[in-house]
């Protein structure tokens, strides 16, 4: 399957849809813009929720288009699996590396080389570790929005310990 | 987190066309950004400016990508530039605009295109008539050209969001930028 992904990557600039790097550059500009709205550090963290909100609205819309031809999901876990596989592959070009759950509404999605962090640094490089979380706010929102439109109300947090690995913690609100 | 057990992720399902999804991701993300800017600024003109600025920042990076992918060298003349911009549209947006309406002096041309991935799910409400929705493109072009020592101006003459039949982007050559002397040298 890996081979397949590489192949489409090469052919992508022949047939050419909105090329992948365009999204990456746009995302960077959105982060810059959001952060430029504030001066001190505390405010900056508050500003990140605007980024999260933008992610939410994108996620809410895109999931509708992605699941048009899907068969009905069996349960919550099935939806999360869809997010980890098909959803992640089409948005971030690889699937989530591992998924954990306590079967009571907590899910941990780990990506060992997250697309938006890949070019920032590797294991040995801690230079940008502190700034990296801002690159995840949009995706947290994207996850939350997608789940919301599938009927799952949740909170999503992200954590980075070494680049470019990151974990998304999804906590489903039990109703 | 060790108490949370791993799950086997395999599932039977449909495979999605990720190239299409990627284009939609870009379109929707851009839409969310414009919506946010409209919320942040009272004045639509400020939104236009901000979009252009962001485009400019993208353009100065995008040109590296473009040159690396196409391996193209310097432009011989402005006609050559027009063709390269056309190629850029093809690579990054998957559309091939038609180059038309050259000015007599050969310093101005138009790019006409019917489908625009940026506006795929977009309709402008009445109070946004002054919004230049695709202003990011203008910034991108300007930024990219500036990195190859060319100052250009561009603007939309026709816009499908404003009920025109096509999108027409006008590009005008302003001047050649000279290589700056590195700081500290004469």
DSSP string, B29-88: HHHHHHHHHHHH-S-HHHHHHHHHHHHHHHHHHHHHHHHHHH-----SSHHHHHHHHHHH
Q: Using the beta-carbon criterion (under 8 Å), do A81 and B36 form an inter-chain contact? A: no
pLDDT score, position B186: 56
How much is the ipTM here?
0.87
Nearest to B4 among A81, A87, A106 (CB): A106
- Angle of helix B78-93 relative to helix A20-36, nearest 10 degrees? 90
pTM for this prediction: 0.86
In chain B, residues with a C-beta closer than 8 Å to the C-beta of A61 are 28, 121
Mean pLDDT of B132-160: 93
Which residue of A lies nearest to B29 if distances are taken between CA atoms?
A58
Question: Given A18, A19, A86, which is nearest B15 (Cβ)?
Answer: A86
pLDDT, tens digit, 9 for 90 and up, residues A139-166: 999 999 999 999 999 999 999 888 888 9
Q: pLDDT-based confidence at B130, cuts 50/70/90?
A: confident
Instruction: Tell me the chain A residues in contact with residue B143 when contact means C-beta distances shorter than 8 Å.
Output: none
What average pLDDT does range B40-64 have in this prediction?
93
Q: From the candidates B15, B20, B27, B29, which should be mutated to test the interface with A, based on the most A CB atoms within 10 A?
A: B29
Q: What is the pLDDT of residue B171?
A: 94
Peptide bond into B36 cis (omega under 30): no
Q: Which residue of B has its CA nearest to A26?
A: B58
CA distance A75 to chain B (A): 12
- How sure is the predictor about A11, in pLDDT bands with cuts at 50, 70 and 90? very low
Give how far A73 is from chain B: nearest CA, Å.
10
What's the pLDDT score for residue A68? 81
Average pLDDT, chain A: 82
User: What is the per-residue pLDDT for B185?
Assistant: 61
Question: What's the pLDDT score for residue A13?
Answer: 39
Residue B54: pLDDT over 80: yes
Distance from CA of B105 to the nearest CA of A (A): 33
Mean pLDDT, range B17-30, rounded to an integer: 84
Q: Do A100 and B5 touch (CB under 8 A)?
A: yes
Q: DSSP code of B2? A: T
Residue among A66, A100, A106 minimizing CB distance to B21: A66
Q: Which residue of A has its CA nearest to B92?
A: A19
For the stretch A85-98, pLDDT in tens is: 888 888 888 889 99
Residues of chain B contacting residue A27, judged by C-beta atoms under 8 Å apart: 29
Enumerate the residues of chain A whose CB falls inside 8 A of the CB of residue B31: 58
Determine whether the interchain pair B94/A15 forms a contact, defined as Cβ–Cβ distance below 8 Å: yes
pLDDT in tens, A54-103: 999 999 999 998 888 777 888 888 899 989 988 888 888 888 999 999 98
pLDDT value at residue A2: 40
């Amino acid at each position: 399957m890996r081979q397949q992904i590489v192949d489409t990557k090469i052919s992508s600039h022949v047939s050419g849809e909105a090329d992948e790097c365009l999204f990456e550059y746009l995302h960077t500009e959105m982060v810059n813009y959001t952060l430029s709205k504030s001066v001190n550090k505390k405010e900056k963290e508050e500003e990140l929720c605007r980024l999260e909100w933008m992610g939410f609205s994108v996620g809410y819309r895109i999931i509708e288009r992605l699941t048009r031809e899907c068969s009905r999901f069996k349960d919550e876990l099935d939806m999360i699996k869809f997010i980890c596989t098909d959803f992640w592959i089409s948005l971030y070009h690889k699937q989530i590396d591992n998924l954990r759950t306590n079967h009571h509404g907590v899910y941990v999605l780990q990506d060992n080389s997250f697309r938006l962090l890949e070019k920032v640094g590797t294991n040995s490089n801690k230079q940008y570790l502190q700034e990296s979380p801002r690159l995840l706010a949009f995706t947290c929102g994207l996850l939350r929005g997608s789940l919301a439109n599938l009927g799952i109300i949740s909170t999503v947090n992200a954590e980075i310990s070494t680049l470019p690995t990151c974990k998304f913690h999804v906590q489903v609100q039990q109703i | 987190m060790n108490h949370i057990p791993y799950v086997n992720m395999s599932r039977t399902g449909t495979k999605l066309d990720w190239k299409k999804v990627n284009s939609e991701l870009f379109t929707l993300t851009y839409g969310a950004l414009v919506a946010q800017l409209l919320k942040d600024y009272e004045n639509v003109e400020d939104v236009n400016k901000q979009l252009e600025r962001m485009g400019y920042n993208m353009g100065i990076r995008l040109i590296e990508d473009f040159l690396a992918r196409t391996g193209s060298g310097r432009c011989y003349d402005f006609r050559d530039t027009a063709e390269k911009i056309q190629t850029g549209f093809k690579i990054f947006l998957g559309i091939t605009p038609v180059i038309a309406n050259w000015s007599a002096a050969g310093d101005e041309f138009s790019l006409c295109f019917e489908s625009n991935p940026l506006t795929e799910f977009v309709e402008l409400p009445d109070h946004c008539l002054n919004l230049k929705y695709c202003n990011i493109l203008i910034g991108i072009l300007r930024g990219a050209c500036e990195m190859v020592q060319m100052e250009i101006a561009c603007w939309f003459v026709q816009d499908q969001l404003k009920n025109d039949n096509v999108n027409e982007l006008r590009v005008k050559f302003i001047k050649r930028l000279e290589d700056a002397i590195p700081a500290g040298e004469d």
